[in-house]
């Protein structure tokens, strides 16, 4: 369980470090945290970047569980609703373009969907809830 | 964000001496790339041996670096490991850059064509 104040991306770093510490203190290996950190970084960055002002006033609540190689987490925040295309169906931004047109963004959800076995988003009242599951 | 720059003949090597190229550090990263771009070298090798984490923002910043260096400068990468290697593979960005296992290989392996 972790509370985060995502006022900026430095807060996201601190949150990731805190979760990593808890993870290691529970006796798990750093290598098992690799995919977890990648997914949490993208999800938290997304909230910090797109959540709007209400994200500043109330914390993101992260509940996570790890057992026998299966990581699951629920991230709740009171920011703006996630944009409509939360789980992309394509293979991420297109790269078969001229160098000057190469994408510099749009990778985050692709990374999440590639690494996670389950991704579920729902909006309840004024809260976003993102549930993810992955095997390390 | 710390970066150290070296020249090996015509080749400029940039060692990113920071563990994370992420949302919190991309602005500083871009500033440093912009400074390195001023000498307009024909080839730049970005050495990521000290970097343990690159998120999607960091990936975008590395793409931005390629654009900032311009069409007359080749940007190659070396020494990707762990999460850094994984993020390039997941996004297929390993098809956009020439990626070498180490700086020696990058320096001795001239770009093909």
Structural domain total, chain A: 1
**SS3 state at B26:** helix
CATH number at residue A59: 3.30.565.10
Asked whether the beta carbons of residue B55 and residue A42 sit closer than 8 angstroms, the reply is: yes
Give residue B113's pLDDT. 44
| DSSP designation for B79 | -
B64 touches chain A (CB under 8 A): yes
CA dihedral A67, A71, A75, A81 (to 10 degrees): -150
Structural domain range at position A103 = 2-135
CB-count exposure of residue B36 (10 Å: 0-12, 13-18, 19+): buried
Asked whether the beta carbons of residue A34 and residue B23 sit closer than 8 angstroms, the reply is: no
A133: confidence class by pLDDT, cuts 50, 70, 90: very high
Q: Which residue of B has its CA nearest to A115?
A: B90
Cα B109 to the center of its chain, rounded Å: 16
Asked whether the beta carbons of residue B91 and residue A92 sit closer than 8 angstroms, the reply is: yes
Q: In this structure, are residues B14 and B36 in contact, taking their beta carbons and an 8 Å threshold?
A: yes
Residue of A15, A67, A40 whose CA lies nearest to A130: A40
Chain mean pLDDT for chain A: 88
Asked whether the beta carbons of residue A102 and residue B67 sit closer than 8 angstroms, the reply is: yes
- pLDDT exceeds cutoff 50 at B13: yes
Overall average pLDDT of the B20-33 stretch: 95
pLDDT tens digit sequence for A59-98: 889 999 999 999 999 999 988 888 765 666 566 788 889 8
Sheet strands (E) in A29-103:
60-67, 70-77
In this prediction the pTM is 0.92
The domains found in chain B, sorted by start residue, are 6-99 (3.30.750.24)
A9 touches chain B (CB under 8 A): yes
């Amino acid at each position: 369980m972790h509370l985060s104040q995502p006022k900026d991306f430095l807060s996201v770093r601190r949150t990731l470090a805190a979760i990593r510490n808890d993870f290691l203190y529970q006796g798990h290996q750093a290598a098992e945290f690799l995919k977890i950190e990648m997914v949490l970084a993208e999800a938290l960055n997304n909230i910090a970047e797109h959540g709007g002002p209400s994200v500043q006033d109330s914390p993101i609540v992260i509940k996570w569980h790890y057992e026998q190689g299966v990581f699951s987490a629920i991230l709740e925040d009171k920011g703006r609703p996630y944009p409509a295309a939360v789980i992309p169906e394509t293979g991420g931004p297109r790269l078969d373009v001229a160098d000057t047109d190469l994408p510099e963004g749009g990778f985050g959800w692709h990374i999440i969907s590639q690494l996670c076995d389950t991704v579920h988003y729902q909006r309840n009242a004024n809260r976003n809830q993102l549930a993810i599951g992955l095997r390390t | 964000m710390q970066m150290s720059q070296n020249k090996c003949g015509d080749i400029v090597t940039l060692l990113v001496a920071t563990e994370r190229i992420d949302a919190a550090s991309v602005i500083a990263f871009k500033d440093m790339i912009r400074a390195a771009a001023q000498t307009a070298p024909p080839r730049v090798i970005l050495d990521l041996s000290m970097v343990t984490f690159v998120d999607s923002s960091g990936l975008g910043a590395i793409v931005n670096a390629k654009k900032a260096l311009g069409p007359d400068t080749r940007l190659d990468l070396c020494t990707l490991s762990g999460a850094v290697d994984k993020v390039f593979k997941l996004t297929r960005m390993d098809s956009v850059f020439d990626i070498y296992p180490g700086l020696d290989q990058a320096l001795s392996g001239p770009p093909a064509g």
